Every structure is written in C-alpha cells, then in structure tokens.
Amino acid sequence: MSHDTNGRCNMEPEEQVPILQPDEKLFKRLNILIEHFRSTYNVKPSFFVRVPGRVNLIGEHIDYCGYAVCPMAIEQDVLVAVAVSKDSDIRLTNVDPKYKYFQCNVKDVSVCIRDASSGPDWYKYFLCGVKGALEVIPEECVPSGILAAIWGNIPPNSGLSSSSALVSAAVLLTVHISQHQLSKRRLATISASAERYIGTQGGGMDQAIVFLGKAGSAMLIEFNPLRGTDVTLPETAVFVIAHSQACHNKASTTDYNLRVAECRLAAQMIARKRNKPWQRVQRLIDVQESLGMTVDEMVSVVTTDLHEEPYTLNEISKNLDTTNEKLREISLLQSFSDAQTFKLRQRALHVYQEAARVVKFCRISEENAVMEDEKLRQLGNLMSNSHISLRKLYECSHPNVDSLVDKAMACGALGARLTGAGWGGCIVAIVTKDKVSQFVDTLKKEIGRSGIKDGFKLGDLVFPTEPNQGAAIYMT
C-alpha cells in the first residue's frame, strides 16, 4: 500500500483478483450451486467466481461525466460455477428458473447479443462479458467452450448493480479459463466496455467497485485513469438499503442514455459559448478542465450559458454551427428522433453540484476534528440533497422511491437517497449504529402498512449493509 498526502491508502496499481478457499457460509451456497451444475452437465465445476453488487453512497449519474463517485461493494453477489467444455459451445444454466437455459456457439456471441427479436435477456449480459474478455485474450488462449451455472441474490433491476456483477463475472471467468492474468483495474475497464454492448453507455463505476471493493471501507473511484482510494466511514454510521418495490431495467428504455446524451450536449454547448473546440468535448469534466474552473464555478457557468426550457436538436445544431446529421454522429445521438428534446441546464447543474457533494462526503467521512454526531448529520444532509437533485433536476426518481425516502427520514434516518440509476429500485439511508435495529423494524412496519407487491417479501426489503470485498475466484 502507498499513502497519499492525506494519509489515505491507495490501491496498489496492479493488484490481482484473489484466489481463495470458501468460508463455511459460502461453502453452503457453493454446494447448492455444485449440485445444480452436476445435475445439468453431469460433470464437476473446476472453479467458481464470486462478484458482489454495490451500493453507491453518493455520486449518482456523474461517472459518465468523468467525476469521482463513492460506492461500496455489498454482501449480495453473483456466483458462477465454471468448467471448460470440449466442444465450442457456451452453456448457461441458472439456479433461478425464471432465467431460462441458454446455449450458443462461441463464434455466435456477438450475433446473439445483437439479436433484436428479444430484449436485454439475462444471458446477453453474460455474453457481453465473454465478448469483452475474448477481445483481449490472445487467440491461442481462447477457451473451446464454457459450462456455467449462475446463482445471484442481488435484487435485479434495482440499482444495486446486478447487471455489472453478471457481466464482470463473465469477464473474470473467461479470462481465468484462458489461463490469463489481468489486474483488477484492467478487468474493471474491460467489464465497463463490455457492458456497453447491452446498449447502455455506462460510466464504469459499477465494474470498478465490484473488482476494487474492500471489506471495511467505501471507495472513492476516480476515472481516467481509473483509481480507487479507500474511504473510511465513520464508526457510528450504518448504511441501510431499502427497496421501493419498483423495478427498472436500464437497457430496456432510452432513459439512461438520454441522460448521458444530455450531459454530453450540455458540455458541448458550454464549450462552444466559451470559444473552445466543442467537437473534442465529450464529458462535463472535459469542458471544466478546458476552462480551468472549479466545479462550483461551473455551476455559475451553467446558469449563465444554458436556458431552462428544453432544447430541440435543431436549436443545438444551430448553436454549434453544424447539421443534425453531423451532431448525431459526433455526439452519439443515433437512437433519438428529431422530436427529442434535451434538458441541458438541469442535468449539468445536477452533475457539477453532485461532484462537489462527493468531495465533501469523503472529506467529512475522514475528518478527525469533527464530532461524530455532527459528521453523520453533515453526511446525511449531503445524501438528502443528492436525492432532491436526482428527483428535481435529473428526474430519475420514482414516486415509490420518493415516498420510501420520506418514510426513512420519518423513521430516524439522518439522510436518504436513491442509489443507482433510478426510475425505481433502492434507496440508501444513513443511520446511527445504536438505532439501526429500531430503524429497520419501524421502516419495515411502515412499508408493510403501504402494501407488499407480488414477488416481494417484506423481510427482504430493508437491510443494513457494510463494505464488502470485491470479486474473487474460489477453488474447492
């Protein structure tokens, strides 16, 4: 470990994914998975990968703008049992029967991902990971075929990154099967690119934390180059996750990519107004850096340069002195119609203010001079302000999520916010350690009073969490 000037531990640059022996708790789950594997394929698995989900404590919808985020890996995970097969097929079975058996030839991976006759089916996430790995593995090492049995317990479509756990697990196992060794950072970068094959233009936070995550501390994830710095959370703080019972699959709508596009266009419009070459600007951090300003100064720039009414494509093209076709190409807007409008000011304001909140959150967490109660109060305020911004400026919340945040606050949380991309999913609340069990019980009662939807169990809807270890390979 090295230490930066703030005394924080920096991750060693080329740390590898550990190969571990399972503990007793994991062993029980692996046995169920082994049984499933054997009954499907009639052979024993040769190794396992485990990739956790994550909860983002603060820094939402800013990774793809180049700004640092502060997530931690959680206990829930995706487990995969793996063996090499003699033929050149990929066979996938899932312990959960709602995810149907899938098989295809290794050569057909790209075709199957692109298959437009079905939506973002579960196996496509796995294939994205295989494709991403195959792109970096030397040809002579490429595996013949793969037998895999998957078992995940991260609530899907809920902002806890079940998708990236699955994609990253597929990358890791394909690389391992090829007897190839890649660092955690490289695997995270490959997995982030690989998941984009599903159609979402994600920023890389999820794949970074699922590989770099460490037990006991949250992590400040910075991009370009990818870096992870441990963030020690206050001893008396506990982060509690609660599910809103509204689910949203990110790859099945254009909501997520529209936000990415709005941020890109906002950055390009600001660059143009300030006489910078806008074609070279892709992210809000690019324009900040080219102007040499702080994120706080960028907030004033946004309010001066961008208007509140949604922009049309024509207006943006005219301002940038280009055509709609050229703009579509440069700014990756191919999936949006001419009628699509873009809220540039609101999205950019959220991003710059949220980026500033992340910096404050990490600084306060590790501040020694501040009393513990005061620390938690300040962290709570930052989280609540983040939620207000996601709801009002970014418009990616959901009525169920907003009402859950209100309930959490009424039950004694010091702050609460939507976590993950949103449009449903989970919230994360900060609670003092001595009040956690009372908080969980009361919140469950409140949720129960409002009703439990089909497919959900009250017992699973609220759970405290702590920073967990990132991805690992297991041998039994």
Cα-to-chain-centroid distance, residue 375: 26
Residue written as tokens 């995970």? 77
Which of 74, 355, 421, 461: binder of ligand NG1 (CB under 6 A)? 421
Q: How far apart are CA 371 and CA 368, in angstroms?
A: 8
Chosen from ligand ADP, ligand NG1, Mg ion, none, partner binding at 122 (C-beta under 5 to 8 Å by type): ligand ADP
CB of 370 to ligand ADP, least distance (A): 33
Chosen from ligand NG1, ligand ADP, Mg ion, none, partner binding at 150 (C-beta under 5 to 8 Å by type): ligand ADP
Supply the DSSP symbol for 233.
Answer: P
Q: Binding to ligand ADP by residue 378, rule CB under 6 A?
A: no
Instruction: Examine the residue annotation and report whether 206 is marked as an active-site residue of this protein.
Output: yes
DSSP labels for 430-458? EEEGGGHHHHHHHHHHHHHHH---TT--G
Q: How far apart are CA 390 and CA 404, in angstroms?
A: 14
Q: Which of 84, 162, 82, 75 is nearest to 125 (CA)?
A: 162
Q: Which residues contact 114 (CB under 8 A, 6 or more apart)?
A: none
Q: Binding to Mg ion by residue 163, rule CB under 5 A?
A: yes
Q: Binding to ligand ADP by residue 129, rule CB under 6 A?
A: no
Q: Binding to ligand ADP by residue 249, rule CB under 6 A?
A: yes
**Residue number with CB closer to Mg ion (124 or 272):** 124
- For ligand ADP, how many residues bind (rule: CB under 6 A)? 21
Q: Binding to ligand NG1 by residue 366, rule CB under 6 A?
A: no
- For Mg ion, how many residues bind (rule: CB under 5 A)? 1
Query: Taking the CB of residue 32, how many other CB atoms lie within 10 A of it?
Result: 13
Q: How far apart are CA 266 and CA 263, in angstroms?
A: 5
Q: Binding to ligand ADP by residue 476, rule CB under 6 A?
A: no
Q: Binding to ligand NG1 by residue 61, rule CB under 6 A?
A: yes
- For ligand NG1, how many residues bind (rule: CB under 6 A)? 18
DSSP labels for 354-387? HHHHHHHHHHHHT-SSS-HHHHHHHHHHHHHHHH
Which of 160, 209, 320, 390: binder of ligand ADP (CB under 6 A)? 160
Q: Binding to ligand ADP by residue 166, rule CB under 6 A?
A: yes
**C-beta nearest to ligand NG1: residue:** 202
H/E segment holding residue 315: helix 313-319
Q: Binding to Mg ion by residue 397, rule CB under 5 A?
A: no
Contact 465, 215 (CB under 8 A): no
CB of 110 to ligand NG1, least distance (A): 19
Q: How far apart are CA 156 and CA 163, in angstroms?
A: 7
**Residue number with CB closer to ligand ADP (154 or 220):** 154
Q: How far apart are CA 401 and CA 416, in angstroms?
A: 10
Restricting to residues 144-183, name those near ligand NG1 by CB under 6 A.
159, 161, 163-164
- Which residue in the list 87, 89, 121, 206 is annotated as catalytic? 206
Q: Which residues contact 375 (CB under 8 A, 6 or more apart)?
A: 234, 237, 364, 365, 367
β-strand pairing of 145-152 with 89-94: parallel
The footprint of ligand ADP (CB under 6 A) covers 78, 94, 96, 99, 122, 125, 150, 152, 154, 156-163, 166, 249-250, 420
The footprint of Mg ion (CB under 5 A) covers 163
The footprint of ligand NG1 (CB under 6 A) covers 56, 60-61, 63-64, 159, 161, 163-164, 195, 200, 202-203, 205-206, 250, 420-421
Q: Which residues are designated catalytic?
A: 206
